[in-house]
Amino acid sequence: MTHVVSPDAESWVPVPVGSGFPLQNLPYGVFSTPEAGPRVGVAIGDQILDLDAVAKAGLFDGLELPAAVCASPTLNRFIALGRPLWREVRAWVAELLSAGNDELEAAGIAGRAIVPQRDATMHIPIEVPDYVDFYSSIHHASNVGMLFRPDAEPLLPNWRHLPVGYHGRAGTIVVSGTEITRPSGQRRGPDGGPPVFEPSIALDFELEVGFVTGDANALGEPIPVGKAEQHIFGLCLVNDWSARDLQAWEYQPLGPFLGKSFATSITPWIVPLDAVEPYRVAPPPQDPEVLPYLRTEGFAGLDLRLEVEIVPEGAAGTTVTRTGFADMYWTMSQQLAHATVNGATAHAGDLFASGTVSGPEPGTLGCMLEITKNGTEPIMLDDGSERAYLRNGDEVILRGWCGAGDGPLISFGECRGVVLPAR
C-alpha cells in the first residue's frame, strides 16, 4: 500500500464538494462526543472516523498498533510509534474509507465509527513537550528590519546563515476556538518616561505554519538535515499571538518573552506530511551558501496557500492577508537540523513553528505589525471600522490549503480565536 493516496481515489463516505478533507488528506485529531471522552480520529469530508472504535473492532489487528493508543486523549502515543507505522496506519485507513470497502459495515461499526463533525468537540491534538518558533520568512524579517532599523541593513548579519528562532512556552499552546485574553505587562512609558504596567494596546496575530515531530534523537545526537523529515509527523496552522508593545520593551537583549508566551493557537487537525507530498516545491535559492549541516536538495518547500480574516464583533469579516508558504527562506528540514545541531532533543509532539509567513507585496503580509507599519497606517475593514491592532471582540481566523483546480483540496482547517478584554 502506498503512502500517497491516488488523486482519483474516492471514499464511500460522502465528501461535500469543495471539502478540504477528501481521502487524499486524512488529518489526525482528538475529539469527544456526549457519549465518550477524547479519543483519536481522522477527518473525512464533514465526518470523523473514530479510530478507537476501529481498534476495538479488531480492524487494526494486522498492524503493530496498540488499541489503547487510539483511545488516548492526545496524539502523542501514536506519534511516538514512528514513521513506518504512521504510513501503515494511513494506508490502511485510506483503504477502509475507499469506495467499495465494506469492512466497517461487516464489523458492525459503520454506524458508530463515522461521527459527524458537528456532533464532536475538538480538543488540542497534542500535548506539547517543547515549542520552538522560528523567523524564517525573508519578507517578514526584512519588513520588520526596515520598520525598526530604517537606517541600517534590514537583515541582521546572522539571518542568512541560520534559521533564527526562540524557545516558546509550551503550556500556553491552545486549540482553535479557545478565547484569547488580552495580556497585560510592561511597556515603554510616554515620552521616554518610566515603564507602565497596563493591558497591551498593540495586540497582534502572526500567521504561521507548524510541524510536529516524533521521537527523533538522543541527547547529544544531532538530526542530519537529510533525515529530518523522517521525524516530522505532520503540519498545522499556528497563530503566535503577540503583544507588540510588551515585546518592544522587553526583547533586548534576550528576545521574545511575555509579549508572546500568553497564548499560541493551533488547528485541531494535524495534516500528515505524506498528504502534502504532491505539493512539494523547490525552496528559493539561499545566498550565501549555507554551512554543510544545513544544505538541502530537491523539493524541501511546500506550495501552501494561506489567508487571514478579521471578524469584528457583530460584523462581517474582512480578509486582510492572502499569501503563500512556497517562498519561505528556511525549510522545515533545515529548522529541525539547526534546532538539534547542538545535541538538543526532539520528542513526540514537539511543535516547531515557521515564524510569520509574509509575501513581498501589500496584501500578502502575515501580521498587523507589517500590515499597518506598527500601527502608523491603520487599515479599513469592510464594516467601516479601522484597525491599527486588534480590538476586544475581534475574531482572527487563519486558513490554509494545498491544491486547486481539478485536483483534491488538502485543507489544514481553521485556526480561530476571539480577543477578550484584559483581566
User: Residue 369 is which amino acid?
Assistant: L
The x, y and z cell numbers of residue 154, run together, are 534590514
Cα–Cα distance, 131 to 348 (Å, whole number): 12
Active site residue 140: yes
Q: Of 208, 201, 205, whose CA–CA distance to 249 is shortest?
A: 201
| CA 69 vs CA 27, 60, 101, 130: distances in Å | 16, 11, 24, 21
Set 123, 139, 140, 161: catalytic member: 140
The x, y and z cell numbers of residue 11, run together, are 471514499
- Contacts of residue 175, defined as CB under 8 A and 6 or more positions apart, other chains included, come to 122, 123, 124, 125, 265, 266, 267, 268
Cα–Cα distance, 347 to 204 (Å, whole number): 30
E runs forming strands in 7-87: 28-33, 36-44, 47-50
Contact 63, 92 (CB under 8 A): yes
Contact 11, 100 (CB under 8 A): no
Active-site annotation, residues: 140
